[in-house]
Amino acid sequence: MSSPGSRRGAEPDPADLRARLMALPPDKRMTVVGRLSVVQQRGLNEHWPFWAHDGQHMPTGAWRVWIMQAGRGWGKTRAGAEWVSEVARQYPGARIALVAATIEEGRRVMVEGDSGILAIRRGGEEVDWRRDRNELVFASQARAFVYSAERPESLRGPQHDAAWCDELAKWRYGEAAWSNLLLGLRLGETPQVVVTTTPKPAPLMRQVLAMKKRTLTGGSTRANVHLPDSFVADIEEQYAGTRLGRQELDGELIEDREGALWTRAMLDGCLADDVPTLVRVVVGVDPPASAGGDACGIVAAGLDADGVAYVLEDASVAGLSPDGWARAVAECAARVGADRVIAEKNQGGDMVETVLRGAEAALPVRLVHASRGKLARAEPVAAEYERGKVRHVRGLAALEDELCGMVTGGVYAGPGRSPDRADALVWAVTELLLGKRRGKAGVRGL
């Protein structure tokens, strides 16, 4: 028996069509879409759940604030516009606030943009854009009003059922605008706010992320499969491995800690696209504190003829037995052609050398004793970065996160329990640049 959609003159069921399309490879999917009738194509194009990717679907549960914190091109504007349009359909007569960094950005992006409210109307639904009044009137008689965060007082007084806040992290007077908005968000039974933003370390971002009844979604630029491959490739080539890339492309909120020995700007400034001929290469090792599989920091670095150190690789491992992490050290040393492995002796004493020799008998190992704590011996190495004497290859995000968590005064505020990767780097760079001043760095060769 044939399906209803296969009969001459009958339209296929939209849900069945979507399911069948998604099961096809991308190239065949586009061929099928090209053969659909105009009515079918329009219906498919306007069905937002079909196109939305993870993070763009409205969360379930009792949330008051939905934060979409994501990279450029992820689809934040489209998701925000779709949510506002759905609120207008579901709640006739609703009052909705559209808050942007400026009035012009609210008009140009949220309302008139390629992914704005006017562009995503379904079936030609009526939306009256009264630009001179910064007001949208939907077919349901719901109304949306454009506000500027540069004028927080304009949000003092008006009441709303819902709000969409775009690029919150760049609001000039963010905290005042946000407070006035929330105080007026008191219509309806469950007023809600959607925030779409590329993250930046701003006080308001921290405040909103700390709110109760908030939900967070997001992702990287790569999540949007509708972006041209050439665009993604170009921006990744330019920004991958940098703080700006992690913020603008990956949607990560990256902050500098007060008193940090390393800052994001410092690390961005030491990135190297090319590594010159090296006269020495070493591997620094921070062995696990126990045989139970704690993290083992393994970082390779080299020295060029001008006395500049290059951090080449972070080969750190976790959850391995002594034999496992020793093999990882030996493999790293072989990859980079290391002439020396510098390993801390404190954790396990001569056992460290025995384990390393067991992995590779010819491994050139030198044990060092740490007479001061990790953070204290990191300070002179951080000073070498400030002098421009250390460069990094790209792709060392986990290591750099630990470096930025090392704070003056003996406090570690980075990811994980201990800066094992960072400590391995300190041993390697100390050997390359501070060998003659080892006493000042709290290191004694054995």
What count of residues does the chain have? 446
Greater model confidence, 348 or 133: 133
What's the CA gap between 144 and 117, in Å, rounded? 10
State the pLDDT confidence band at 17, using cuts at 50, 70 and 90: low
Please tell me the predicted confidence (pLDDT) of residue 28.
83
Average pLDDT for the chain: 83
Least confident interval from 100-104, 143-147, 189-193, 413-417 = 413-417
Biggest CA pair distance of the chain: 88
Share of the chain above pLDDT 70, in %: 81
DSSP 172: T
pLDDT by residue (tens digit) across 380-410? 999 999 999 999 999 898 999 899 988 876 6
pLDDT for 255 equals 63
Is residue 252 within 8 A of residue 401, CB to CB? The reply is no
Q: What is the 3-state secondary structure (H, E, C) of 30-68?
A: HHHHHCCCHHHHHHHHCCHHHHCCCCCCCCCCCCCEEEE
Residue 235 banded pLDDT, cuts 50, 70, 90: low
- Give the confidence band of 227 by pLDDT, cuts at 50, 70, 90: low
Asked if residue 140 has pLDDT above 60, the reply is yes
Q: How far apart are the first and last CA of the chain?
A: 85
Query: What phi-psi label fits residue 259: left (phi over 0), alpha (psi between -120 and 50 degrees) or beta?
Result: left
Contacts of 436 (CB under 8 A, 6+ apart): none
Q: Which of 14-18, 79-83, 352-356 is the least confident region?
A: 14-18
Res 441: pLDDT: 37
pLDDT at site 10: 46
pLDDT higher for 436 or 101?
A: 101
Residue 142, pLDDT above cutoff 90? yes
The predicted pLDDT at position 205 comes to: 85
Lowest mean pLDDT, pick from 45-49, 145-149, 395-399, 420-424: 45-49
User: Are 159 and 95 a contacting pair, CB within 8 Å?
Assistant: yes
With cut-offs at 50, 70 and 90, classify the pLDDT of residue 156: very high
Q: What is the pLDDT of residues 80-139, one digit of tens each?
A: 999 999 999 999 999 999 999 999 999 999 999 989 999 988 766 889 999 999 999 999
Written as one letter, the residue type at 428 is A
Question: What is the separation of C-alpha 248 from the centre of its chain, rounded to a whole number of angstroms?
Answer: 8
Q: Is the pLDDT of residue 2 over 50?
A: no
Helix or strand run (H / E) with residue 390:
strand 390-392
Q: Is the pLDDT of residue 247 over 70?
A: no
Strand partners, 286: 297
Coarse DSSP helix, strand, coil percentages of the chain, rounded to the nearest 5 percent? 40, 20, 40
* Residue 263: pLDDT over 70: yes
Which pLDDT band holds residue 350 (cuts at 50, 70, 90)? low
